[in-house]
Amino acid sequence: MKILVDVSVYVLNERLHQLIREAAGGEHTVVFPRSQEEIIQTGGDAQVYFGNCLEETFPYLTQLKWIQSHSAGMDAQLYPALKNSEVVLTSVAGVYGSHAAEHAFALLLGLTRDIKGAAVNHTKHEWRKPNQLIEIGGLTLGIIGLGGFGIHMAKRGKGFDMRIIAVDAYRQDKLDFVDELMPIDQLPELMRRSDVVMIACPLTEETYHLINADNLALMKPTAYLINVARGKIVDEPALIKALKAGKIAGAGLDVTEVEPLPKDSPLWDMDGVLLTPHVAGRSQHRVRRAAEFFCENLKRYLNGEPLKNIVDKQLGF
């Protein structure tokens, strides 16, 4: 069997190369192509692919049985040819959850503690105190989606003494650190009650513009919206309108509808907005954790055991 490990985007060090070779065993061939051209040249007889297989590359990999993506969100992977194929797709959902949750709280604290304003004053060498700072302990954190990202957000929110409520379309078991779990049709109730709303659901046809003008209108004028999931879950023009009108206190956005965010977007210049360039899933551990997860799944695949994180290609996660 040939196993293709795409290192054209995420470079693996030699220790991780060796870890993958050991997981594959001596009877299987592991190839580490460094470009899409190399993938096409070497991948025609590959059965396993580790990486994000591009739509233009997929038709050349005619023997593929399984793709282990190194992404948590699958919206960019579910192009028609892969979606309609027999190839099994697995994600790394949950592997980056701790990174994303920390980033979500970095955005929240950046807003509530006015770190953005302090940074601006820093560059000006000005010692200027803000008019108001917000303590998040005791506030209600509403989490949309209680999967990998959402669980880690809930744990950290509980550590800040927040009340945790969540909605999820599929999960029914309420975890100990979640005060209340509701079905997804109770999203308006979550929007009304939350002091902070964090988005942690995948982007699918059902969640596109899930956070729209109607749901934003339900939020408290003192509430914050935090998005480290996918930009298209939020109706961005509606969010901009709500921010301009003072309908919500602010937004922390690691993702936007169009990336990079256009230079003429009003979001750049809004006082109540904190932006980062889609980096919530990154950390010094990202590549290693993804490779280790692949190795665990590869051993399962070779032993005929069920794979972890199999994606329902029709549902989108």
Indicate which residue of 278, 286, 289, 300 is catalytic. 278
> In this model, does residue 224 exceed pLDDT 90?
yes
Confirm whether 278 is a catalytic residue.
Answer: yes
pLDDT at 286: 94
Q: Using 50, 70 and 90 to split pLDDT, how confident is the model at 300?
A: very high
> In this model, does residue 12 exceed pLDDT 90?
yes
Residue pLDDT, tens place only, 183-210: 999 999 999 999 999 999 999 999 999 9
Q: Using 50, 70 and 90 to split pLDDT, how confident is the model at 38?
A: very high
Average pLDDT over residues 98-113: 97
What rounded mean pLDDT belongs to the chain?
97
Indicate which residue of 259, 282, 285, 296 is catalytic. 259
pLDDT at 105: 98
Q: Using 50, 70 and 90 to split pLDDT, how confident is the model at 163?
A: very high
Residue pLDDT, tens place only, 171-185: 999 899 999 999 999
Kindly state the tokens that stand for 190: 């979550």
pLDDT at 63: 98
pLDDT at 3: 98
Q: Using 50, 70 and 90 to split pLDDT, how confident is the model at 86?
A: very high
> In this model, does residue 10 exceed pLDDT 90?
no
pLDDT at 9: 85
Q: Which of 73-77, 180-184, 237-241 has the lowest mean pLDDT?
A: 73-77
pLDDT at 117: 93
Indicate which residue of 99, 152, 230, 236 is catalytic. 230
Per cent of the chain over pLDDT 90 is 97
pLDDT at 131: 87
Residue pLDDT, tens place only, 267-293: 999 999 999 999 999 999 999 999 999
